[in-house]
Homo-oligomer: A and B are copies of this chain.
Amino acid sequence: MKIKKPISDAVVRRMPRYYRCLKELERAGVKRVSSTTISEILNITASQVRQDFSNFGEFGQQGYGYDLVYLKAQIRAILGLDKEYGVVIVGGGHIGLALANYEKYSREGFRILAVFDVKFDHIKAPRGVEILHIDEFEKFVEENKVDICAITTQKETALSIAEKAKECGISAIWNFAPIDIHEDDNTVVENLNLNESLFTLCYKLNAKELEEV
């Protein structure tokens, strides 16, 4: 699949939601699905759904709805979920262990390979996940196919870990530390900042008051 222009961040972030929605409809036994149904489940407009899909090609015929299995496979491919990814986690705190123990990732092709920390006697990880000292990071990455590095350390450590990951040639960083890690030509980054999410919620909670004129 080839697309003609860079896709906006807003569209990109809706794609995983479409994928989740289609998986749920598939489990419910649905065979054909309309943009209207998808839009109602996700609380967006049907024209938005059609417009988003049209960025990536034609997935269905006007008036007939989409073939669910086909559409789901297309979106899966757009998200790159038809491939396998090796994942390492740096930081064995609660967030790191939440990621390490989330078995459903493996169904989508994410293989959690190892958790790195400086102290790790307390860390319990599922079978198959190595628990290693951070000093072994470079060696491990050299010897294994690591595509994604999840960083769940304090912010003070996060930047140096990100540098190390980039130097080792890891091409994707999933950052949970409360600091922005920037992308470069070789590395994509997704910053997931819990504080910022909480503060956004607070904004919404207070917005009615702010917006009364």
A105 pairs with B198, CB closer than 8 A = yes
Q: Does A45 contact B (CB under 8 A)?
A: no
Q: Is A95 an interface residue (CB 8 A)?
A: yes
Q: How far is the CB of A35 from chain B (nearest CB, A)?
A: 17
Known: A174-B201, A205-B188, A206-B80. A196 touches B43 (CB 8 A): no
Query: Can you tell how many copies of this chain the complex includes?
Result: 2
Interface residues on A, range: 35 or more
A109: shortest Cβ distance to chain B, in Å? 9
Residues B200 and A190 in contact, CB atoms below 8 Å apart = yes
- Asked if A62 is at the interface of the complex by the 8 Å CB criterion, the answer is no
Q: Is A144 an interface residue (CB 8 A)?
A: no
Closest partner residue, chain B, to A110 (CB atom) = B198
Does A78 have its Cβ within 8 Å of any Cβ on chain B? yes
Q: Using CB atoms and an 8 Å cutoff, list the residues of chain A in contact with chain B.
A: 1-7, 10, 12-13, 15-17, 19-20, 42-43, 78-81, 83, 85, 93-95, 97-99, 101-102, 104-105, 108, 110, 147-148, 171-172, 174, 178, 180, 182, 188-190, 192-207, 210-213
